[in-house]
Structure 1
């Protein structure tokens, strides 16, 4: 005999929309507390939930919330992420400027891309929305959604912050990293340059996802000259500013720092999320892999900034990351070369899970 909960799960397929709404609304808490009830009959409830994403917006919102929670389970993740038709629906709906559940769709995508086979999204195309101004490449559409979402100029219902987590997880794949550093034909812009400006955004989710994306893309060592060049990606100001506070520096050190870091206002604070600070420091260490990167960081006085970060951030992860970077910057060049290479080769955190 089915339990009351199992009977309730069955009602999400009821032809009466009012019954569907009541049933799915009451089931949301169980998607975290008792997810197994959705895995019966070879995941039939999951199949129904995927169908309900196209239902009335209120029903769709609950269905998406449940799917977001359930895709923490490997079996459910595989079922949903390998359903190409459903993925097409999610991608089409998230780019709809009138979609009321665009943020929930972004959150679901952030889970789905943990399925490694979804790296194929790098070549996936779909019709471009007339109002987005992108091309037909899905990644370009997601990137432009993310940019426009920062000020709510595309969809009044969505900020698309969780797309930062999508980018962070996708960039564990080499082909996705290549996309981020390749100038796009439709607008002549390198995608990396679109996201770097959000390292000091008010949204914790956006900052964290962007920091993780930058770190993952930095593992593309041949692109380091472009990362460091002022007339190309010029990533250092966007990494250093979030980890810099309002501490006073020696005048000689200050004059050698990047212009963006000189004479900061008294109210300037480093990022309040220690995990983000740690990620940025780890990215700096990755960028010391090349002699050019090490020389540049020494020349623009990165060491004093890291010294103050180590002193003022009471977090073991941050301090350990600072110590690793300082060991490279302060060593003689032969030792620094070895240190940088070991860091790149043995870093267990190169794939960022968010």
Structure 2
């Protein structure tokens, strides 16, 4: 069996494209089971480079998709993900997505999924951020955000090629370097990302919420950058936690148009409690700052949380409401300690 597997891996580099394609299909099948994954992991030194070469040379054939599927399955193991990063997998994936994504959407979708796995490891985040090269730093991220925001699909019959960018953005926003790139005013990336919160795609919505939440860990040093997006930021954070009631005219008169209009009629509530909790955690980190509290009061934020709390059933989300409430009432003597307890770390 061992010799047969070594021979199969060798076929991934065969000159005949039909042989390469058949081998790639068999390898993909092996990565779908634990035994196959173990066997291929033991031969990672030969299997991983061969699969990456197949991505680059596959052209319009299906062998590229098979190789990408195999890499997605293998990269769920953190050690293999790190080895792939060291082999240049992030660069390879971005190169194919940029050059052939339009012609091969199925392949592009798989490679975006691969990037999610690769950015679960520290080296993968650094590679995607292009840390260390100031000339190109953030270029990959900007390309992904552009594709993410331009290619959404709300049609069930159509695959959303770039929806998994949402998960990658959460991963890179866990580190300070990633948050700094996303918050850089000249790039305008966070503004583009926030506007995707209106998507009906739950993966996109959850990823955007998590990314915003992580970026708010920079509120103590990047408050002006965050509040420069207040027109988009406050609706994205407050509407998910506003409950389902129609707000009174008096309440709405103290809100900007983006909020007052949305709260003047019945609307679909955000069912995902994790999204509601992330929104509240982001709000908390903003209102820890004096300028953040002033901005929050200016949009009648406290009233929105008061009404939203009345409809909330989830204990963890209720606790997040209450933490903000205690901060607003007396600002609390142990604000910074609360920040550590509530915010913990980007996730």
Show the counterpart of 1:225. Answer: 224
Q: Is the 8 A contact 2:12 2:20 kept in 1?
A: yes
**CA distance in structure 1 between the partners assigned to 2:209 and 2:96 by the alignment:** 27
* 178 and 82 in structure 1: CA distance in 2 versus 1, 3 angstrom threshold: same
Show the counterpart of 1:77. Answer: 81
**How do 1:153-232 residues align onto structure 2 when only pairs under 5 Å count?**
159-184=161-186, 189-220=187-218, 221-229=220-228
Work out whether 1:102 is the aligned partner of 2:101: no
Work out whether 1:113 is the aligned partner of 2:119: yes
**CA distance in structure 2 between the partners assigned to 1:165 and 1:263 by the alignment:** 30
Shift of 1:197: 0.5
Show the counterpart of 2:269. Answer: 270
Structure 1 runs not aligned, ≥5 long = 129-134
**CA distance in structure 2 between the partners assigned to 1:94 and 1:166 by the alignment:** 15
**CA distance in structure 2 between the partners assigned to 1:27 and 1:122 by the alignment:** 30
* 203 and 18 in structure 1: CA distance in 2 versus 1, 3 angstrom threshold: same
Show the counterpart of 1:312. Answer: 311
Q: How many residues align?
A: 333
* 22 and 320 in structure 1: CA distance in 2 versus 1, 3 angstrom threshold: farther
**CA distance in structure 1 between the partners assigned to 2:43 and 2:128 by the alignment:** 30
Structure 2 runs not aligned, ≥5 long = none
Show the counterpart of 1:38. Answer: 40
Q: Is the 8 A contact 2:184 2:225 kept in 1?
A: no
- Match for residue 144 of structure 2 among 142, 145, 153: 142
Name the SS for the 1:262 alignment partner. helix
**CA distance in structure 2 between the partners assigned to 1:11 and 1:317 by the alignment:** 53
**CA distance in structure 2 between the partners assigned to 1:268 and 1:324 by the alignment:** 26
Q: Deviations over 1:178-206 (max 9, x none)?
A: 2222233xxxx522111111112111121
Shift of 1:169: 0.9
Looking at secondary structure, tell me which structure has more helix per residue: 2
Name the SS for the 2:247 alignment partner. coil
Q: Is the 8 A contact 1:257 1:300 kept in 2?
A: yes
Work out whether 1:343 is the aligned partner of 2:338: yes
Shift of 1:39: 0.8
Q: Is the 8 A contact 2:245 2:266 kept in 1?
A: no
Q: TM-score, normalised by structure 2?
A: 0.82
Shift of 1:102: 1.2
Q: Is the 8 A contact 2:174 2:214 kept in 1?
A: yes
Shift of 1:120: 4.9
* 311 and 175 in structure 1: CA distance in 2 versus 1, 3 angstrom threshold: same
